[in-house]
């Protein structure tokens, strides 16, 4: 058994384990895991038997390890004698007297052993981190959801994708496609790259989409058709609007971007008005955050939950299309110390100014 093929723990304990058995490092005695072993009128499992074997057959395991005849054991004869003495528990003075050296020499050698052990430990950690890392998992390119079962064409590594993009585009800024590929995997790669030039959330008219695709490839109708057929673009039934069909990764990025933009955007408080376009009546209110405030009112009015009964009655009778929403005045909340009192004063001021019929 070549000890250097074992782990440090296996070398120290004197045995190693396979899926089927426990094996002695010194004599290669093997104890199968699916057997029990008789000894002294008792039966022992393999895990216990390997320990009993070491105690009985190799009681001087430490000494045997120190004396190992191996090219990787670079200890000198004097160093081996010292280590054997340390292992047997002799005091420094006793070792010095026996070896005919000063006690300080023994202490220095013990210190040297400790330092070399620290160096070896750090070296082993560095080596294992550098050379024993798991092989990197190849990243796959994500594509929009496709109808039916995806085949091998849709399994594309980032390396394959980069290679195909380099092959078929003469320039990436501006993006220029040299020719239309014949192979489906290459088509997927160029469609993926072209789709990334389009806005993630914006809806485009056919004219706007053409303006973006035409500089990329002369046959832009072909490019547009493939983008739709392969699910990179969605469109209305009439073809009047087109928009990106985001894959899972892009959707996550888009959500993060929306949240980040929302957090970074200033928060405005202000005065809003809901106007009945048929009879001219108005409703005035204040809001501590104007973001999507119209959606808040619409939801409550559509569900018949709003507290202003006159406004609610007209909304129920006339429908949402009869009303318009507008912001009459706004300011950044960062400029206000007491927002609650400010809103209270603001509402009183604008109610007096506008005299709305609903309030």
Please enumerate, as own/partner, the contacts of 74-82 that have beta carbons within 8 Å and a separation of 24 or more: 79/109, 79/113, 82/106, 82/109, 82/110, 82/113
pLDDT at 327: 93
2.115.10, 2.60.40, 1.10.155, 1.10.10: CATH of 152-250: 1.10.10
Residues 6+ apart with CB under 8 A from 75: 66, 83
Going from the C-alpha of 127 to that of each of 4, 5, 123, 131, the distances in angstroms are: 15, 15, 6, 6
Q: What is the pLDDT of residue 256?
A: 67
The pTM assigned to this predicted structure is 0.42
pLDDT averaged over consecutive 10-residue blocks of the chain (359 residues)? 87 94 94 94 94 94 91 92 94 93 93 95 92 80 75 86 94 92 94 92 90 95 95 89 81 64 76 95 94 87 86 93 93 88 94 92
Name the superfamily (CATH) of residues 268-354: GIY-YIG endonuclease (3.40.1440.10)
Question: Structural domain boundaries of the chain?
Answer: 3-130, 152-250, 268-354
Residue 145's pLDDT is 76
């Amino acid at each position: 058994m070549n000890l250097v093929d074992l782990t440090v723990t296996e070398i120290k304990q004197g045995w190693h384990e396979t899926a089927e058995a426990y094996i002695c490092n010194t004599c290669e005695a093997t104890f199968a895991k699916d057997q029990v072993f008789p000894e002294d009128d008792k039966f022992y499992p393999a895990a216990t038997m390997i320990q009993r074997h070491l105690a009985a057959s190799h009681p001087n395991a430490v000494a045997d390890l120190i004396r190992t005849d191996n090219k990787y054991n670079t200890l000198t004869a004097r160093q081996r004698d010292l280590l054997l003495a340390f292992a047997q528990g002799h005091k420094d003075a006793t070792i010095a007297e026996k070896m005919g050296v000063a006690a300080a020499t023994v202490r220095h050698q013990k210190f040297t052993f400790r330092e070399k052990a620290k160096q070896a430990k750090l070296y082993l950690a560095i080596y294992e981190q550098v050379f024993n890392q798991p092989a990197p998992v190849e990243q796959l390119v994500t594509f929009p959801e496709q109808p039916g079962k995806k085949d091998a064409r849709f399994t594309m590594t980032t390396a394959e994708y980069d290679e195909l993009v380099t092959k078929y585009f003469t320039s990436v800024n501006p993006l220029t496609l040299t020719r239309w590929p014949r192979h489906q995997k290459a088509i997927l790669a160029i469609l993926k790259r072209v789709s990334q030039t389009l806005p993630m959330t914006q809806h485009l008219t056919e004219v706007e989409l053409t303006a973006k695709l035409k500089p990329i490839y002369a046959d832009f109708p072909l490019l547009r058709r493939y983008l739709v057929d392969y699910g990179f673009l969605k469109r209305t039934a009439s073809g009047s609007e087109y928009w990106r069909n985001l894959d899972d990764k892009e959707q996550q990025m888009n959500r993060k971007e929306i949240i980040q933009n929302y957090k970074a955007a200033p928060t405005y408080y202000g005065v809003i008005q809901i106007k009945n376009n048929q009879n001219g009546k108005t409703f005035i209110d204040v809001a501590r955050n104007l973001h999507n405030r119209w959606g808040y009112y619409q939801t409550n009015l559509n569900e018949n939950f709003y507290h202003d009964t006159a406004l609610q009655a007209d909304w129920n009778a006339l429908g949402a299309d009869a009303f318009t929403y507008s912001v009459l005045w706004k300011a950044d909340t960062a400029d206000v110390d007491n927002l609650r009192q400010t809103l209270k004063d603001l509402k009183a001021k604008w109610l007096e100014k506008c005299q709305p019929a609903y309030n």
